[in-house]
Structure 1
Amino acid sequence: MLIDSSTEQNEGLPEAQVRAALIAADDPSASPAERAEMLMEIARGLQLKPRSAQQLHDAVALYRRALELVPESDPLLAARIRAREGTAHQALPDGGAEALDAALECYEAARPHLQTYGLPEELAELDINLGLVTQSQAGIGRARITDAIAHYHHALRVFTRERHPREFAILHNNLAIAYLSIPVIDEAGKLREALAVQSFEQMLQVINLVDHPSEYAMAQNNLGNALQYAPSKHPIANILRAIEAYDEALKVRTPRDTPVEYANTIANKANALCNLPDNPEHPELGNARHLAAARALYAEAHALFSQYGLSGNAAAVAEALIELDSPTPFGEAILPIAKELQ
């Protein structure tokens, strides 16, 4: 087998960068603050496209060495380094709950000085990351999802649609996912589903099919899911809007280019069709035509899920196909196949 020597050299480059950075950290010709900033920038570079978890661990080590160099007279630089270190912990694929705890500790240590000396955008970015960490901890029962939602709302005070459209879209996507992760057990839960719909709609005001195709497709798919299961006095109207959203997502998602995402979306569309009367003005006439269309979509999704080894999704679709052939009364909703929120 031929070896590409340039690739081999590039793979060793991060290790060489780390060694060079640690040597430069002891260079007396630069001030401690300058050396700390240099280490911070090299660590950030390791985080951009890490080829392994080790590069993220190396980034953490460089951030900590940088903190040792920061003079006490520069609390803002120390806060910035701590905030960046938190993102490295957060990105560790092998860190688990311990990495989340370390990230949270970094963010909380950085907050007071960023609040006093930093830019509003720096504090808002910290709130985004605090929200993400808290949301992950809530998923394992170690935090409250409502605290994550509060962090996102704090960040939205700075990251407005007009001035920071990218961050605005990210925040509303995160908010919608947080809202939908809360079980619907009371009227407040129903309200949160409606808020999720609003957040996806807000997101779609700043992204579009041409400039952000994958994000646009994801948002439309998730908007369809939220619409389909959100409570409404006009459920048929919601289902029709959900189908429109899925069709928008399918302008990007195709069986050739994005087969798994395509399968998710057509399965979700099939769910909606199962609950849509053929004639919305006369729902009592049933939905035989839409059930036939749903059956075809489920079958196509099942084949793709099976082909790509997604046995859980394939089993859920198979169960939905069985339900279609059972005497389920019209209007009794079939459970979602793929509430994809990514």
Structure 2
Amino acid sequence: TAQMSVPSNDPGYLEGARDSMNSALEALRIQGTSEEVAEAEMNLGLILQNLASYNRAPITDSISAYQRSLRTFNAQKHPAEFAILQNNLATAFMSIPFSDERSKMREALAVQAFEEGLKVVTIVDNPSEYAMLQNNLGNALQYVSSSHRVENGFRAIEAYDEALRVRTLEDTPAEYANTISNKANCIANLPDDPENPEAGNPENLKEAIRLYREARSVFNKLGDIHKVEAVSGALEELETEMFGSSQPLSNVHKINQ
């Protein structure tokens, strides 16, 4: 776990973490409890998912580890762990390049996983997990390739608004800024009136700009330069959109947290 947590761009720490976790699992499978094995599998899945971003492990290995963990961390006995695993599983599905005929199936599996997680957590008992799943469900809905793009977009806005019932500027500023950034990107691509999409979306564009500016201000105060730059790029593109471009925004600012 310590190796996995080292703040470095060197994947060697993650490879060390993978080897350590596999060694631990050899013993835990013989002498440990099922919960200890499941927790190790969950952490192994996260390590492998991070290694996949460096092309040092296939993402399918991460998915397999999460699925093994779910054999023990089920919805009935371990709802919080189940919800986190469903979130991790969904983000793993979403990270696979959607370049083949199975991409729509993987997108559907990701949305389903987020929705399964939300069945077992509540805003009262599990507020952090609830908000995380709602935020990430919104991302999945707005990026899924579907003929129901507008309908999915409005469903995504509902999910972001649910997340914002927990994520507030006062209590969780970083998470709040993440979610309003995602909401801005989504609302900028939706018509003001879904019954009359030809009328355009000047009001939604104004609201998206307001949300992006607020998010940039929060990220700037937090010293998160990477996200300041990402939001600034999206904001510049959106302001250009308002001055005559008819093309939808490229979805460049998704934050799964």
TM-score range relative to shorter protein: 0.7 to 0.9
Task: Please give the alpha-carbon distance, in whole angstroms, between the structure 2 residues aligned to 1:93 and 1:270.
Answer: 29
Task: Please give the alpha-carbon distance, in whole angstroms, between the structure 2 residues aligned to 1:122 and 1:269.
Answer: 38
Aligned-partner SS, 1:142: coil
Q: Which runs of 4+ in 1 moved over 6 A?
A: none
User: Which of 170, 184, 208 is the equivalent residue of 2:98?
Assistant: 184
Deviation at 1:135, TM superposition (A): 1.3
Equivalence for 1:271: 185
Alpha-carbon distance change, 122 to 214 in structure 1, aligned in 2, over 3 angstroms: closer
Matched AA of 1:313: A
Matched AA of 1:291: L
Equivalence for 1:325: 242
Deviation at 1:161, TM superposition (A): 0.4
Deviation at 1:158, TM superposition (A): 1.8
Deviation at 1:143, TM superposition (A): 0.7
Equivalence for 1:171: 85
User: Which of 224, 249, 254 is the equivalent residue of 1:339?
Assistant: 254
Q: Which residues of structure 2 form unaligned runs of 5+?
A: none
Equivalence for 1:230: 144
User: Which of 43, 50, 53 is the equivalent residue of 1:136?
Assistant: 50
Task: Please give the alpha-carbon distance, in whole angstroms, between the structure 2 residues aligned to 1:327 and 1:223.
Answer: 31
Post-superposition Cα deviations, 1:51-97, rounded to whole Å, max 9, x if no partner, equal xxxxxxxxxxxxxxxxxxxxxxxxxxxxxxxxxxxx34334446943
Task: Please give the alpha-carbon distance, in whole angstroms, between the structure 2 residues aligned to 1:300 and 1:94.
Answer: 29
Q: CA RMSD in A?
A: 2.4
Task: Please give the alpha-carbon distance, in whole angstroms, between the structure 1 residues aligned to 2:221 and 2:20.
Answer: 43
The alignment-based identity, stated in percent, is 50
Alpha-carbon distance change, 320 to 209 in structure 1, aligned in 2, over 3 angstroms: farther
Aligned-partner SS, 2:77: coil
Matched AA of 1:205: K
Alpha-carbon distance change, 151 to 299 in structure 1, aligned in 2, over 3 angstroms: same
Does the 8 A contact of 2:139 with 2:256 survive in 1?
no
Equivalence for 1:290: 204
Does the 8 A contact of 1:223 with 1:245 survive in 2?
yes
Task: Please give the alpha-carbon distance, in whole angstroms, between the structure 1 residues aligned to 2:33 and 2:162.
Answer: 38
Does the 8 A contact of 2:192 with 2:202 survive in 1?
yes
Equivalence for 1:313: 230
User: Which of 196, 202, 205 is the equivalent residue of 2:110?
Assistant: 196
Does the 8 A contact of 1:268 with 1:336 survive in 2?
no
Deviation at 1:238, TM superposition (A): 0.5
Post-superposition Cα deviations, 1:292-320, rounded to whole Å, max 9, x if no partner, equal 32232233233333443433134224323
**1:125 is aligned to 2:32:** no
Deviation at 1:117, TM superposition (A): 4.5
Alpha-carbon distance change, 103 to 288 in structure 1, aligned in 2, over 3 angstroms: closer
**In the TM superposition, what are the counterparts of 1:231-270 in structure 2 within 5 Å?**
231-270=145-184
Task: Please give the alpha-carbon distance, in whole angstroms, between the structure 2 residues aligned to 1:292 and 1:315.
Answer: 15
Task: Please give the alpha-carbon distance, in whole angstroms, between the structure 1 residues aligned to 2:165 and 2:66.
Answer: 30
Task: Please give the alpha-carbon distance, in whole angstroms, between the structure 2 residues aligned to 1:107 and 1:296.
Answer: 45
After alignment, is 287-296 or 89-98 more displaced?
A: 89-98
Task: Please give the alpha-carbon distance, in whole angstroms, between the structure 1 residues aligned to 2:41 and 2:59.
Answer: 14
Aligned-partner SS, 1:320: helix
Task: Please give the alpha-carbon distance, in whole angstroms, between the structure 1 residues aligned to 2:78 and 2:123.
Answer: 19
Does the 8 A contact of 1:130 with 1:151 survive in 2?
yes
Does the 8 A contact of 2:52 with 2:59 survive in 1?
yes
Matched AA of 1:159: F
Does the 8 A contact of 2:28 with 2:37 survive in 1?
yes
Aligned-partner SS, 1:187: coil
Does the 8 A contact of 2:94 with 2:107 survive in 1?
yes
Task: Please give the alpha-carbon distance, in whole angstroms, between the structure 1 residues aligned to 2:215 and 2:4.
Answer: 34
User: Which is bigger in relative contact order (C-alpha 8 A, separation at least 6)?
Assistant: 2
Does the 8 A contact of 2:205 with 2:238 survive in 1?
no
Alpha-carbon distance change, 106 to 266 in structure 1, aligned in 2, over 3 angstroms: closer
